[in-house]
A and B are shown apart, each in its own frame.
Chain A
Amino acid sequence: MTTQLQNDFSTMKPNRPWRPTPRKMAEDFLVIAIAAVLSPVIVQFTGLAGISGNVLTFFVLSLVGSIGISYSRQGRKAVGNAVATSLIYSSFALVMLPLASILYTVISRGYQSLRINTFTQDMSLTQPEAAFDQGGALHAILGTLILVAIASAISVPLGILTGLYLTEIKGRAENLIRFLVQAMSGVPSIVAGLFIYSVIIIGSGGHYSGFAGALALSILMLPTVARTAEEVLKLIPNDLREAGVALGATQWRTVVMVVVPAARSGIITAIILGVARVAGETAPLLLTILGNNTTHFNPFDAPMSALPLYTFNLFRTGLNTAISRAWTGALVLMFIVLVLFIFARLGSGKKK
């Protein structure tokens, strides 16, 4: 006997029985609320003081509270889980704190001297102590963009090819190269600057240029891109490589058409990390691009400026207006990096 399957379930509504009940949520909230109310009281009557005292008391109280409530619900087994959960949330808050603080400080202080002319004028005709509607960071913004573009043009292909050598070719020098890349990622940025200074700048007779700065930055960027690219390429299952080769493709075509597209999003992450590593570098630029107040497009012939260097030089003057301009420089730098990230992320999304 066969019966027709019933297909009309329009009266059914999805249920989520795994969700916490209102009572459970209220209990959890109560623990936090009691801890929040109790901690200032405790701080008042003990030797503890200040924000850190409050935070510490709140942390201990909420930890004890969540241990107690999970013990009453599910016994000893649940206590470990409650402790771990509390620790993870607290660590998260702890990590977010400096990040939020940095963002707040840079935005609130950088905003004061942020004007349209920040993006349209340079400092060639303006003293740092002039009013904020004169002068700007155009030369530094352009410098940063040019430097990062050149450094990326050098390091991204080299870094991805290094990653491909380590994961696809696995040649004789694999371990040596992996070791060198790891050692390179530990090179202090000032050493990269000194290296370019001694080889390129002195070698060319004291000729500072944006290109020399980009070379120094690419030394710092290369290991980051190469290591990240290696890590993401390692995640591509070997099945795909075998499938490509089994279809009669050469290894190179398999890599270009199958492996790299499969790792596309990860490789874009590698590039982002590389750009993030060098966009804010100051030390190597001091020795290579020197700094400049005029807008300058050619990276080969004369000193240039860049946002970190602009910020650094203005801070050093010690004038209030100049320091305010320096904060603006830092704000613009953060904004540029953010925009680059957003573009890269949009580009790495699934193509449709």
Chain B
Amino acid sequence: MDILKLKGSGQAQTTSEDKVAKPEISSLASVAADRSESKGDFVPRRPGAGLEAKGVHAWFGKHHVLANVSLNFPSGTVTALIGPSGCGKSTFLRTLNRMHEFIPGAGMAGEVLLDGTDIYKSGTDVTKIRLKVGMVFQKPNPFPSMTIGENVLSGIKLAQLKVSNKDDLLEECLQRAGLWNEVKDRLSAHGGSLSGGQQQRLCIARALAVKPEVLLMDEPCSALDPGSTLRIEETIRQLTESVIVVIVTHNMQQAARVSDFTGFFLSDGGPGQLVEVASTKEIFSRPKDERTEAYVTGRFG
């Protein structure tokens, strides 16, 4: 399989000739705001900051599910991972904060560099990695034994962090997750009493409370109604000020709306691989690979 590998920010810019030469093939191209123009010469706040996957492979037992994925996630960006079911997007996501190894029989190869250091280096404290690389799951999973407030601050207690003012943190995280106004009067109610969309935003607030550098989102809106989805997308856009966001989604509009870069994964029976990665605008208007084009225009998958 011919894999087209592109480094996210480096190749994100396109020339004006390209735009003239190829008409936009996807209606989503107009949705995808061309953020890459401004992020093209993006300078990371700290040198070496950011997350980078180098030649990542993954196995479940003897089953090779993901092969040779290299992807760069510069700070201040949102990257969407798209592709048909079973192409290894979620598995790849879970290798980025070492949740992959939570599954019995899991195996991996390659490097994942967080701020220049391989998170799989022996002797690494895995809890510190997961503290820096937070995760929001597909199904909202607030802790049932805790109240809304306790849920948000649960990461602080679980990871035994010290916080000077818990009330401020609580409000800040709920504000950032777009949930504060709805729950500020019932912080001591149980998390399970919220609607599905509210629960998911509660989970986002919970993930933000430990101040992660990266937030991984595994189809966070797949069970939500359009209103909640929109709010979470707004939240994601606001998060980019301080957090790198990587989002797996089956919703092409969502990828177009929220992401700066988009990676397309595909499996043709073998392990899933990264077919193409480029600025979101480019993926939805002038993808270089014809399989990407077929996928984003809805002709297969």
| A contact set with B: CB distance below 8 Å | 170, 237, 239-240, 242-250, 253-254, 257-258, 261-262, 264, 350
Contact = CB atoms under 8 A, between A and B. Distances in A.
Contacts of B160: 253
A242 B207 CA distance: 12
A179 B166 CA distance: 47
Contacts of A239: 137, 139, 141
Interface stretch (B128-136, B220-228, B285-293): B128-136
A242 B137 CA distance: 9
A246 B99 contact: yes
Interface string B172-206: 00000000000000000010000000000001001
Interface string B111-130: 00000000000000001101
B128 A248 contact: yes
Interface in B130-151: 130-131, 134-135, 137, 139, 141, 143-146
A245 B155 CA distance: 9
Nearest to B159: A248
16 contacts: A242-B99, A243-B203, A244-B158, A246-B134, A247-B134, A247-B159, A247-B210, A248-B131, A249-B155, A249-B158, A249-B159, A253-B158, A253-B159, A258-B143, A261-B146, A350-B190
B155 A242 contact: no
Majority secondary structure of chain A interface residues (helix, strand, loop or mixed): helix
A236 to B, nearest CB: 9
B97 interface: yes
Interface centre among A237, A246, A249, A264 (most CB of B within 10 A): A246
Contacts of B159: 247-249, 253
Contact of A248 (B127, B137, B146): B127
Contacts of A253: 158-160
Contacts of B102: 242, 245
A248 B154 contact: no
A249 B141 contact: no
Given A239-B141, A262-B145, A245 B154 contact: no
A264 B97 CA distance: 30
Interface in B216-257: none
Given A237-B141, A261-B145, A262-B143, A247 B99 contact: no
A109 B15 CA distance: 98
Contacts of A262: 143-145
A239 B135 CA distance: 12
A246 B135 contact: yes
Nearest to B146: A261
B99 A257 contact: no
A247 to B, nearest CB: 4
Contacts of B99: 242, 245-246
B5 interface: no
A254 B155 CA distance: 10
Nearest to B139: A239
A110 B223 CA distance: 59
A162 B190 CA distance: 30
Contacts of B137: 239, 242-243, 246
A243 B130 contact: no
B292 to A, nearest CB: 30
Contacts of B104: 170
A244 B150 CA distance: 13
6 tightest Cβ-Cβ pairs between the two chains A and B: A248-B131, A249-B158, A261-B145, A247-B155, A248-B159, A239-B141
A247 B131 contact: yes
A48 B146 CA distance: 62
A240 B130 CA distance: 15
Contact of B130 (A248, A257, A264, A350): A248
A261 B157 CA distance: 14
A243 B207 CA distance: 9
Contacts of B210: 247-248
Contacts of B190: 350
B79 to A, nearest CB: 19
B145 A247 contact: no
B51 to A, nearest CB: 15
A251 B157 CA distance: 13
Given A239-B137, A242-B99, A247 B144 contact: no
B145 A258 contact: yes
A156 to B, nearest CB: 19
